[in-house]
């Protein structure tokens, strides 16, 4: 007992913090249908602003409360600016582009924060009253944890009142159910959306400031928090406030006990809970099925083989790429090798996401599985590279099949979230199973054999594999299977009624994507000489999304163009400026606003302008 | 032998009996209309035949073989085509490719990863498009078709697996009156030519009386009348609950 109660209360305190973040995220999603990747960044800003304010104020409780509220208000104001400058311009874009834009904001805010407050972690010196303890059932409990435990239900109550007792709240609830109808009734949507975003940002800021006494303001908050918040929101059901509350209790308590009992697999446990919940309740604990959007997304344009001129251009580029070792130095060759890996990474994601209609937030999982398959084989069994390059796609495909067994029935955001969950589980295993994977240190000495060690030969190998896989996937997409996959995406009821096995089509797409991506992972590992858990990070998964979406989903060349542009841009930025995240993020945001159909899509549209019947 | 035999079909949602004890049959080449006021159980009936809903009780026989509770996919493979109330076509394909898909699926040539689709069964697809009057639009994008043309495309797709039974859920919903009659007369002709049984639900009484051989009237989940146009029109009980007293045909 003396262990259970304090641990339970710690869990409840954690649950309150989670709820502050998740409630804002879920309300914003409910009304605007945007999954706001930058919500964690808003919390991070809240923490930094809170630190700046609180360290300048007297250290009494009443000043603490005022300071925290001021931080929340300041974050809300930042939220308003964000909504007006960025989000408002992408409400009509496809949902993945919105996500991409908010991820651009994450990058920008990361550099802005770094620039304003520096890289050093900023702990808040705790005044005496915050260090107090309360004796409950024979155990000493931190006073501040008890305060936090009270804040969760308090905020839930206030939000409930705001949503059920005010005109504004009625509008928010109505917009969550059917925003088209709310617009038809003549409600000013802009004001509604801005105010909702401000509220969500304010809650995140509040959460950030309140987290200070127990931790610190640091640059890792944004991505770590957003993952937890996604889990809570998805488990609770997107758009459901009560669901978010219940889920944050569940996850908070689970984390507290997990850390005590099975510290190594806590993260795995959390994501497993999410996976189990989604298998049994595909819309989360208290979520409703997403209503069909009335303003239907742009109809996918007809996929036709590229015009002859473009195909000739592609051939010319391929020939130029093959001749590159005679023209470029070793550094350029290593960047080009990276670009080949990026092409594998992007075309495999495009395969499942474009024609397959299954957006993945965790594509790095297959990359990492391929990399570790090759790395572990070499490390433990001394298996040489050719077999590693064979084992990697096999492993990627196998795990994709296992995972696919329970995701092919899900759709939309939930499917994306489960792929994210799977990637995080894979990451946690690679990070924490130190005896086998060497954890954070990574597997080192993963080099190619003698004959492939020169940058030139290795580049040709990478180019051959990347071009081969890309052409193979293209071939598959123009074959009956590829058409059937696209048919299942276009209209699942129609596909079934002509006798297509939709789940199986999608399953095979996942396996193909997983295998191709796994090959990319292995190729990357041999090029870098090591395998590290960072290969499976969220940031890496987002890179894949960026490449595909930058290039555009609707053309087969899109992911390749995207991969090349992204690799070039990233390399250029990293070399030329310290603020590369800021520039990259801003470029992403601008691109999403300017080309909602991707770069290759825009080129194609200009090319075909007036030629399409 | 009847193409479709439905016996004692029953379905409840919660405590509500949506369909209770409905039995009927459709002969080859026959067009059977399923009508009734909103909430009568037409769509439920329809979805149980098509495999979208499993029935609580009852059997569905297609040419003497039970298809009760099979998946839509399995039912499609046994020779049932269907069109949807809100048109469902493959938006990222051309008109011809839409029909080619149906042909490939019917011949079980889907799991091929190498030979391109282009040109495969194109003659057969064009012939089907010609039958529904879309031959001239074969190369156009599906997304630019007029609504009436989409409905006809759906019909061509449904014909792609050479169905013995065609299920049409409100085939003329959302169409202009002149187009409605044209589409259903086309269906009528195809049904006769191919000896294909057609079961359809419809709100437009002009269409119903014009093309159907027989009419079933559902009310509150129960079959309340069955007969040809004249007998249904004359049936006082039907007039009472469905057409309203003193009703004429032609309500939209």
**Secondary structure class of A7 (helix, strand, coil):** helix
Could you list the residue range(s) of the whole structural domain that residue B175 is in? 4-79+163-243
d(CA A220, CA A385): 36
pLDDT in the model for residue A296: 41
Specify whether the CB–CB gap between A143 and A126 falls below 8 A: no
Q: Is the Cβ of B138 closer than 8 Å to some Cβ of chain A?
A: no
User: Looking at the domain assignment, is residue B207 inside a domain?
Assistant: yes
Q: Is A498 exposed, middle or buried (0-12, 13-18, 19+ CB in 10 A)?
A: buried
**Secondary structure class of A219 (helix, strand, coil):** coil
d(CA A57, CA A59): 6
> Distance from B79 to chain A by nearest Cα, in Å?
9
For residue A128, what is the DSSP state? Answer: G
Write out the two tokens for A478.
């123009």
Gyration radius of chain B over CA positions: 18
- A475:B139 CB<8 A: no
Say yes or no: ipTM exceeds 0.95: no
Average pLDDT over residues A526-542: 91
Dihedral class, residue B81 (left if φ above 0, else alpha if ψ from -120 to 50, else beta): beta
d(CA B174, CA B149): 12
Write out the two tokens for A487.
């048919």
Average pLDDT over residues A474-485: 95
Helix pair A599-608, A538-551: axis angle to 10 deg: 10
Q: How many CB atoms lie within 10 A of CB A366?
A: 40
Residue closest to A427 by CA, chosen among A466, A504, A372, A501: A372
Partner-chain residue, chosen from B72, B88, B117, that has the shortest CB–CB distance to A483: B117
pLDDT in the model for residue B229: 86
Mutate to test the interface with B, among A498, A558, A601, A604 (most CBs of B within 10 A): A498
pLDDT in the model for residue A174: 87
User: Looking at the domain assignment, is residue B238 inside a domain?
Assistant: yes
d(CA B27, CA B3): 5
Residue closest to A502 by CA, chosen among B46, B97, B103, B110: B110
Gyration radius of chain A over CA positions: 25
Q: Lowest-pLDDT range, A135-149, A193-207, A337-351, B76-90?
A: A135-149
d(CA B162, CA B155): 11
- B141:A301 CB<8 A: yes
pLDDT in tens, A268-325: 788 788 878 887 887 888 887 765 443 344 556 777 777 788 888 889 999 999 999 9
Write out the two tokens for A268.
């795995």
Helix pair A241-261, A143-165: axis angle to 10 deg: 160
A487 pLDDT band, cuts 50/70/90, is very high
Q: Is the Cβ of B115 closer than 8 Å to some Cβ of chain A?
A: yes
d(CA B52, CA B148): 25
d(CA B231, CA A165): 57
Q: Dump the DSSP string for B111-144.
A: S--SS-STTTTHHHHHHHHHHTT-GGGTTSBGGG
Residue A1 pLDDT > 70, yes or no? no
**Secondary structure class of B98 (helix, strand, coil):** helix
E-strand ranges in chain B read: 4-13, 16-26, 31-35, 57-62, 65-66, 80-83, 165-169, 197-201, 214-219, 222-227
Q: How many CB atoms lie within 10 A of CB A198?
A: 22
How far lies B73's CA from each of A480, A484, B159, in Å?
17, 13, 15
- A497:B94 CB<8 A: no
Roughly how many angstroms between the first and final C-alpha of chain A, as a whole number? 74
**Residue that wins the pLDDT comparison between A607 and B243:** A607
User: Looking at the domain assignment, is residue B143 inside a domain?
Assistant: no
In sequence order, what are the residues at sequence separation of 6 or more whose Cβ sits closer than 8 angstroms to the Cβ of residue A81?
none
User: Looking at the domain assignment, is residue B20 inside a domain?
Assistant: yes
% of chain B at pLDDT higher than 90 = 56
Average pLDDT over residues A405-413: 75
Q: How many CB atoms lie within 10 A of CB B120?
A: 20
pLDDT in tens, A416-473: 878 887 888 898 889 888 888 888 889 998 999 989 889 999 999 999 999 999 999 9
Partner-chain residue, chosen from A487, A490, A500, that has the shortest CB–CB distance to B73: A500
For residue A304, what is the DSSP state? Answer: -
Specify whether the CB–CB gap between B23 and B223 falls below 8 A: yes
Helix pair A189-211, A39-54: axis angle to 10 deg: 60
d(CA A139, CA A569): 56
β partners of residue A444: A530
Write out the two tokens for A552.
């555009």
Q: Is the Cβ of B71 closer than 8 Å to some Cβ of chain A?
A: yes
Kind and range of the H or E run holding A469: helix A455-478
> Distance from A484 to chain B by nearest Cα, in Å?
7
Partner-chain residue, chosen from A490, A505, A612, that has the shortest CB–CB distance to B90: A490
User: Looking at the domain assignment, is residue B98 inside a domain?
Assistant: no
- Helices H, strands E: what count in chain A? 25, 6
Question: Virtual CA dihedral for A329, A334, A335, A338, nearest 10 degrees?
Answer: 160
Domain containing residue B29: CATH number: 3.40.50.300
d(CA B49, CA B27): 15
Average pLDDT over residues A579-607: 79
Q: Lowest-pLDDT range, A55-59, A332-336, B177-181, B192-196?
A: B177-181
Q: For tokens 């940058």, name the residue.
A: A455
Mutate to test the interface with B, among A297, A302, A409 (most CBs of B within 10 A): A302
**Residue that wins the pLDDT comparison between A514 and A178:** A514
How far lies A37's CA from each of A86, A195, A365, A421, B114, in Å?
13, 18, 19, 15, 39
- B161:A490 CB<8 A: no
Specify whether the CB–CB gap between A454 and A481 falls below 8 A: no
The b-or-e profile of B169-196 (16+ CB within 10 A means b, else e) is bbbbbebeeebbbbbbebbbebbeebeb
Average pLDDT over residues A100-125: 91
> Distance from B238 to chain A by nearest Cα, in Å?
33
**Secondary structure class of B26 (helix, strand, coil):** strand
Specify whether the CB–CB gap between A370 and A348 falls below 8 A: no
In sequence order, what are the residues at sequence separation of 6 or more whose Cβ sits closer than 8 angstroms to the Cβ of residue A368?
A423, A426, A427, A430, A521, A531, A533, A535, A536
pLDDT in the model for residue A613: 42
How far lies A26's CA from each of A230, A254, A328, A480, B42, in Å?
9, 21, 50, 40, 38
Partner-chain residue, chosen from B81, B117, B142, that has the shortest CB–CB distance to A479: B117
Write out the two tokens for B50.
């098509």
% of chain A at pLDDT higher than 90 = 46
Write out the two tokens for B164.
């013995």
pLDDT in the model for residue A482: 95
Cα A249 versus chain centre, distance: 23
d(CA A610, CA A282): 43
Q: Looking at chain B, which residue has its C-alpha nearest residue A471?
A: B114
Kind and range of the H or E run holding B201: strand B197-201
pLDDT in the model for residue A610: 58
A141 pLDDT band, cuts 50/70/90, is confident
Specify whether the CB–CB gap between B8 and B57 falls below 8 A: yes
The overall average pLDDT reported for chain A is 87
Specify whether the CB–CB gap between A553 and A598 falls below 8 A: yes
pLDDT in the model for residue A184: 85
Residue A570 pLDDT > 50, yes or no? yes
> Distance from B164 to chain A by nearest Cα, in Å?
14
Specify whether the CB–CB gap between A238 and A287 falls below 8 A: yes
């Amino acid at each position: 007992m003396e262990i259970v109660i304090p641990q339970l209360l710690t869990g409840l305190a954690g649950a309150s913090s989670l709820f502050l973040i998740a409630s804002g995220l879920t309300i914003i999603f409910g009304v605007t249908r945007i999954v706001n990747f930058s919500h964690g960044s808003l919390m991070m800003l809240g923490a930094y602003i809170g630190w700046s304010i609180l360290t300048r104020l007297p250290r009494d409780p009443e000043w603490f409360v005022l300071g925290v509220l001021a931080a929340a208000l300041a974050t809300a104001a930042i939220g308003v600016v964000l909504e007006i400058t960025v989000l408002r311009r992408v409400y009509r874009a496809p949902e993945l582009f919105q996500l991409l834009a908010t991820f651009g904001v994450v990058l920008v805010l990361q550099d802005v924060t770094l620039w304003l407050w520096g890289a050093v972690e900023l702990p808040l010196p705790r005044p005496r009253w915050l260090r107090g303890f309360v004796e409950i059932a024979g155990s000493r409990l931190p006073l501040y944890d008890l305060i936090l435990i009270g804040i969760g239900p308090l905020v839930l109550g206030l939000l409930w009142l705001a949503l059920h007792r005010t005109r504004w709240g009625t509008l928010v609830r109505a917009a969550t159910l059917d925003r088209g109808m709310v617009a038809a009734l003549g409600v000013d949507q802009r004001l509604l959306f801005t105010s909702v975003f401000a509220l969500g940002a304010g809650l995140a800021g509040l959460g950030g400031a309140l987290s200070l006494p127990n931790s610190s303001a640091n640059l890792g908050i944004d991505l770590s928090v957003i993952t937890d918040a996604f889990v809570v929101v998805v488990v609770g059901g997107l758009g459901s406030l009560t669901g978010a509350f219940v889920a944050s209790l569940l996850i908070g308590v689970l984390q507290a006990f997990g850390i005590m009992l099975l510290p190594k697999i806590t993260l795995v446990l959390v994501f497993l809970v999410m996976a189990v919940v989604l298998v049994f309740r595909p819309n989360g604990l208290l979520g409703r099925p997403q209503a069909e959007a009335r303003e239907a997304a742009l109809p996918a344009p007809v996929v036709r083989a590229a015009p002859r001129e473009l195909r000739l251009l592609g051939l010319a580029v391929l020939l130029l790429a093959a001749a590159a070792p005679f023209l470029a130095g070793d550094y350029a060759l290593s960047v080009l090798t990276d670009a080949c890996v990026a092409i594998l990474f992007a075309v495999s994601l495009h395969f499942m996401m474009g024609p397959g209609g299954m957006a993945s937030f965790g594509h790095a999982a297959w990359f990492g599985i391929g990399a570790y398959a090759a790395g572990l084989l070499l490390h433990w069994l001394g298996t040489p590279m050719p077999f590693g390059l064979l084992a990697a796609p096999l492993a990627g495909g196998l795990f994709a099949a296992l995972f696919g067994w329970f995701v092919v029935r899900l759709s939309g955001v939930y499917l994306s979230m489960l792929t994210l969950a799977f990637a995080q589980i894979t990451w946690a295993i690679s990070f924490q199973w130190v005896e086998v994977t060497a954890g954070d240190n990574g597997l080192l000495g993963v080099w190619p054999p003698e004959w492939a060690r020169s940058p030139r030969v290795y580049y040709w190998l990478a180019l051959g594999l990347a071009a081969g896989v890309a052409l193979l996937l293209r071939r598959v997409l123009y074959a009956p299977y590829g058409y059937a996959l696209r048919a299942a995406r276009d209209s699942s009821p129609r596909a079934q009624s002509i006798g297509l096995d939709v789940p199986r089509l999608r399953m095979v797409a996942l396996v193909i994507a997983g295998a191709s991506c796994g090959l990319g992972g292995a190729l990357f590992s041999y090029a870098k000489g090591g395998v590290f858990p960072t290969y499976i990070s969220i940031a890496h998964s987002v890179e894949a999304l960026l490449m595909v979406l930058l290039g555009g989903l609707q053309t087969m060349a899109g992911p390749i163009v995207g991969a090349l542009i992204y690799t070039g841009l990233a390399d250029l930025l990293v070399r030329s400026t310290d603020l590369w995240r800021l520039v990259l993020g801003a470029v992403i945001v601008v691109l999403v606003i300017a080309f909602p159909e991707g770069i290759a899509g825009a080129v194609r549209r200009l090319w075909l302008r007036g030629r399409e019947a | 032998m009847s193409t479709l035999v439905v016996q004692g079909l029953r379905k409840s949602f919660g405590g509500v009996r949506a369909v209770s004890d409905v039995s009927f049959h459709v002969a080859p080449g026959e067009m059977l209309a399923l009508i009734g006021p909103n909430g009568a159980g037409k769509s439920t009936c329809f979805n149980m035949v098509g495999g979208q809903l499993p029935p609580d009780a009852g059997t569905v026989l297609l040419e003497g073989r039970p298809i009760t509770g099979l998946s839509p996919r399995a039912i499609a493979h046994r020779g049932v085509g269907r069109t949807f109330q809100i048109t469902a076509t493959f938006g990222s394909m051309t008109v011809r490719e839409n029909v080619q898909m149906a042909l490939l699926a019917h011949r079980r040539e889907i799991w091929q990863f190498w030979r391109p689709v282009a040109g495969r069964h194109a003659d057969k697809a064009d012939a089907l498009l010609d039958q529904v009057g879309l031959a001239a639009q074969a190369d156009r994008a599906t997304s630019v078709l007029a609504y009436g043309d989409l409905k006809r495309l759906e019909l061509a797709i449904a014909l792609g697996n050479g169905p013995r039974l065609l299920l049409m859920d409100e085939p003329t919903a959302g169409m202009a009156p002149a187009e409605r009659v044209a589409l259903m007369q086309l269906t009528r002709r195809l049904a006769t030519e191919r000896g294909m049984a057609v079961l359809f639900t419809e709100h437009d009484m002009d269409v119903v009386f014009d093309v159907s051989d027989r009419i079933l009237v559902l009310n509150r989940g129960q079959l309340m009348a069955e007969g040809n146009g004249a007998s249904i029109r004359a049936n006082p009980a039907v007039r009472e609950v469905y057409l309203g007293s003193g009703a004429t045909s032609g309500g939209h």
